[in-house]
């Protein structure tokens, strides 16, 4: 058994697709649109076979949860080396994305930094 994909809603489908393509080399399928519900989606595929489904629809609830909360907290991308973590972290910060922490070695042995994607989802860059 394996997880097939993770899905997240967004209010700006194209902006989020562009972010994951630009910084994480995601490859997108063609946009799916359900005219009855207004749902629009992309599946973003990554080199190792992982997939992220990004979705939008009319009238999304944008209620912000107070952290910490129960539920999904972050996506982690394994970049293979400390140098790659440092490089991508610097690139994202230079491009205006929010750095939450790092790069640093965590208590459980990861070398990581944490940034926010354009929608405020926490992304961990790990080596």
Q: What is the pLDDT along the chain (127 residues), one digit of tens a residue?
A: 888 899 999 999 999 999 999 999 999 999 999 999 999 999 999 998 999 999 999 887 766 655 566 677 899 999 999 999 999 999 999 999 999 999 999 998 999 999 999 999 999 999 9
3-state SS track over 32-74: EECCCCCCEEEEEECCCCCEEEEEECCCCCCCCCCCCCCCCCE
Residues 94, 74: Cα–Cα separation, whole Å: 21
């Amino acid at each position: 058994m394996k997880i097939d994909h993770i899905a997240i809603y967004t209010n700006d489908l194209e902006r989020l697709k562009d972010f994951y393509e630009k910084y994480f080399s995601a490859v997108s399928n063609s946009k799916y649109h359900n005219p009855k519900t207004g749902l629009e989606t992309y599946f973003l595929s990554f080199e190792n076979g992982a997939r992220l489904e990004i979705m939008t629809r009319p009238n999304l609830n944008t209620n912000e949860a107070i952290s910490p909360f129960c539920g999904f907290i972050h996506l982690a991308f394994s970049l293979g080396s400390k140098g790659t973590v440092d490089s991508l972290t610097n690139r994202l910060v230079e491009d205006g994305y929010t750095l939450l922490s790092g790069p640093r070695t965590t208590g459980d042995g990861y070398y990581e930094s944490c940034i926010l994607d354009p929608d405020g989802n926490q992304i961990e860059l790990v080596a």
